[in-house]
Amino acid sequence: MEKATFIEHVCKQLEKMSEEQKDAWILSRAKLLSESEQQGFLMSLSGEKIITYMPARGEIESFCKAVQDGDICMEYDYHYYEFSPEGRYVDNWILHYHDPQGAFSFLDRVFRGCRDLERLGEYGLAGQILDQVCRLEFQVVKAADSEEFEKELSFLIADAEEEHLLSMKTREIGFDWIMALLLGKGDDGSVKCAEKLVDVLNSELCKESQISDFSYLISDQLLNAMEKLIKARIKTLEEERKKVTGEEIKSWRIIQKLETKIARNQHLLLDIQKKCKKQEDRKKENNKVSVLKASWNQINELFRMLSYERYIDDQLEIDEVWNICQALIKRNQFEEEDWNLRKKILNEMAANEYYDCYGCYDPIKELSEKLYITEAETLEYADILDKYGYTAREAANLYRQYGRMEKYVRYLETHLGKTSKEYVELIQCYSDDGNKAKAREVAEAGVQKCKDDLTELFIFLLKDARECGMEDRYKKFYASAKRRIRVDMKQVDHSLQP
């Protein structure tokens, strides 16, 4: 059932229920909770919480203060290893981090809770919390049995992925942070908004994110403000690098950090100029907007968002894909769209198995069947399907439908296996072309190799032997057919009647 349909059914049921029935239902749910879940349920019931398993806002603030004050910290374990636990020769000093106070177990619930808040549309609250926790920097102390480590250490949220301390990836957390920023406070196009967004994009958590990933949420005004700001930052960083490099006592670590920051900002600037602004230029060049192109871009963005989900199960993005596909089908103006665009989309659909992994096979497949219209387009689509093994049968059916028998026959010849369907179809093709010898050869091979119903194969062989006057051959195949459990002799005898 689609999420929107499910919610609609729930609303209708709630309207039918009395206050007493609703209270009874809530109490029945409460009785089933474990002891560890009870406090979260009560806080959710009173409005102190939205997500029951997520720490309360007060708990998060206390946690952040404890990290900043050094009361919650990480431990490092630095040892020389000749061999790894698996027995592999290492001969090196290895640094490990430990979380003795369970800080990242707490943060894991925070990050997962923020993702659920965004799914509920609570972007403002999610943004406030992510702004607090994503910037945390943990002090690191030496574990009791560790050797001394000379370098200055700190531990960021982004470092947790390598240590496998969180269930979410760094990229996922960074994506949620940016989405909450853009959808929570809104895009007012101001310099302050640009500064906040550029700062977040420069953080370690968001180093894999691109501005173009969110361009559909960013106004031209904000984009221009960001471009101007990034150019100024690059200039400042380059001047600072020049100053440090010119000093007599050089610090390669400082230079390396500056060069990393310069490279990141140059990448962000290039992303704005080559992708975000290029998209705007294309819009200006085309007086007529392609509804299909805009819709498909939106669908691709939804798939990208779904790619960050740990599990695919009735997400709102899936419902939105269904809605967009149905709107396009209802609009039914595909003949106005350029065939090259439609062909490109069809190729993406087939290459991604119609996005079945995101639970969107049905709407995408239905949309694909509307994108090819003429005979020539259908045959080009068949060529696309022919490239992918799982759609080769569909391609073969289209080739047969439009008279491209040579390609249909080629498919059958290369897909003869343990089922009789392809053998029977190929026999019919050869028979229609008058190539009885080839049809006979295929039927005999099918009798030997097939593991399902052999009735049609034996009927062909028996009729062929009778037409050719080969009595011994006829008797041999008839006796063989009677011994096979996968042959319907009633059907065979009926088909052999004069």
Give the model confidence (pLDDT) of 350-383 as tens digits. Answer: 999 999 998 899 999 999 999 999 988 999 998 8
Return the number of other C-beta atoms located less than 10 Å from residue 45's C-beta: 12
351 within domain boundaries: no
Q: pTM of the predicted model, to two decimals?
A: 0.53
Q: Identify the residue with better confidence: 86 or 191.
A: 191
Which of residues 243, 264, 285 is at a domain's end?
285
In a domain, 314, yes or no: no
Closest CA to 233 of 191, 277, 275, 205: 191
The answer on pLDDT for 283 being more than 80 is: no
Indicate whether 379 belongs to any domain.
no
Asked if residue 6 and residue 89 are part of one domain, the reply reads no
Q: Which residue has the higher pLDDT, 104 or 412?
A: 104
Query: Which of the four pLDDT bands, split at 50, 70 and 90, describes residue 285?
Result: very low
Give pLDDT, residue 277.
Answer: 66
Residues 137 and 205 in one domain: yes
The C-alpha atoms of residue 310 and residue 319 are separated, in whole angstroms, by 17
The lowest-confidence range among 106-110, 271-275, 289-293, 485-489 is 271-275
> Based on the domain organization, do 92 and 25 belong to the same domain?
no
Do 144 and 21 share a structural domain? Answer: no
How far, in Å, CA of 377 to CA of 165, rounded? 51
CB count within 10 Å of CB 115 equals: 21
Say yes or no: 185 and 249 in one domain.
yes
Residue 358 belongs to some domain of the structure = no
Cα–Cα distance measured from residue 418 to residue 434, given in angstroms and rounded to the nearest whole number: 26
The number of domains in the chain is 3
Q: Is the residue at 28 inside a domain?
A: yes
User: CA 262 → CA 171, 235, 242, 267, distances in Å?
Assistant: 21, 9, 12, 9
Q: Is the pLDDT of residue 284 over 60?
A: no
pLDDT (average), residues 85-105: 84
DSSP letter assigned to residue 44: H
Do 207 and 112 lie in one domain? The reply is yes
199-208, 450-459, 482-491: which has the highest mean pLDDT? 199-208
Answer for the pair 98, 143: CB distance below 8 angstroms, yes or no. Answer: yes
Q: What is the pLDDT of residue 83?
A: 78
In a domain, 334, yes or no: no
Per-residue pLDDT band at 418 (split at 50, 70, 90)? confident
Q: Say whether both 1 and 147 belong to one domain.
A: no
Residue 88 structure tokens: 């592999």
3-state SS, residue 312: coil
Which whole number is the average pLDDT over 162-182?
Answer: 89
What is the extent of the structural domain holding 23?
1-32
Residues 422-439, mean pLDDT to the nearest whole number:
80
| Same domain assignment for residues 133 and 10 | no
Same domain, 4 and 101: no
* Domain membership flag for residue 189: yes
Same domain, 22 and 89: no
Domain end position, chosen among 261, 285, 309: 285
Last residue of a domain, one of 285, 311, 337: 285
Mean confidence (pLDDT) of the chain: 83
My answer on whether 97 and 215 are in the same domain is yes
Count of residues in the chain? 498
Do residue 22 and residue 110 come from a single domain? no
**12 in a domain, yes or no?**
yes
